[in-house]
Amino acid sequence: MPASAPPLVWSESFDNTWEYDGLRINYISAGPDQGTPFLLVHGFGASGFHWRRNVNVLASAGYRVYAIDLIGFGLSSKPVIEYDASLWREQCAAFLRDVGGCGAGKRAILAGNSIGGYTALMTGSKYPDLVAGVASLNGAGQFAPTADEKAAALALDEQRAARSAVQAALDGALEQLSVSLQRFAAYAGLFVTKQPARIQQVLRQVYPVNPDMADEELVESIRYPADDPVGLAPPGKIPEVFYRIVSRNGRGGSVTLDELLAGLSVPLLLLWGELDPWIVSAKGDAIEAKAAGLGVDVRRVSVNAGHCPQDEAPEEVNAALLDFACSLGL
User: What pLDDT, on the 0 to 100 scale, is given for residue 84?
Assistant: 87
Indicate whether 170 pLDDT > 60.
Answer: no
Is the pLDDT assigned to residue 181 strictly greater than 60? no
pLDDT score, position 185: 57
**Sign of the CA dihedral with 122 first, then 123, 127, and 128 last:** negative
Quick one: pLDDT at residue 177? 44
Torsion on CA atoms 186, 84, 17, 113, rounded to nearest 10: 80
pLDDT tens-digit readout, 115-167? 999 999 999 999 999 999 999 999 999 999 876 766 666 666 666 666 666 66
Q: Which residues have a Cβ under 8 Å from the Cβ of 149 and sit 6 or more positions away? A: none
Closest CA to 68 of 103, 23, 104, 4: 23
Q: What is the pLDDT of residues 100-115, one digit of tens each?
A: 999 999 999 999 999 9
Q: Does position 284 have pLDDT exceeding 70, yes or no?
A: yes
CA 39 to centroid of chain Cα atoms:
12
Q: Kindly state the average pLDDT of the residues 59-85.
A: 96
Confidence tier at 183 by pLDDT (50, 70, 90): low
Residue whose C-alpha is closest to residue 283's, from 139, 128, 93, 94? 139
Give pLDDT, residue 179: 45
> Higher pLDDT residue, 151 or 261?
261
Exposure b/e, 293-303, CB count within 10 A at least 16 = b = eeebebbbbbb
Identify the pLDDT of residue 194: 76
22-46: pLDDT as tens digits: 999 999 999 999 999 999 999 999 9
193 has pLDDT over 90: no
Q: How far is CA 299 from the centre of its chain?
A: 20
Confidence class of residue 258 from pLDDT cuts 50, 70 and 90? Answer: very high
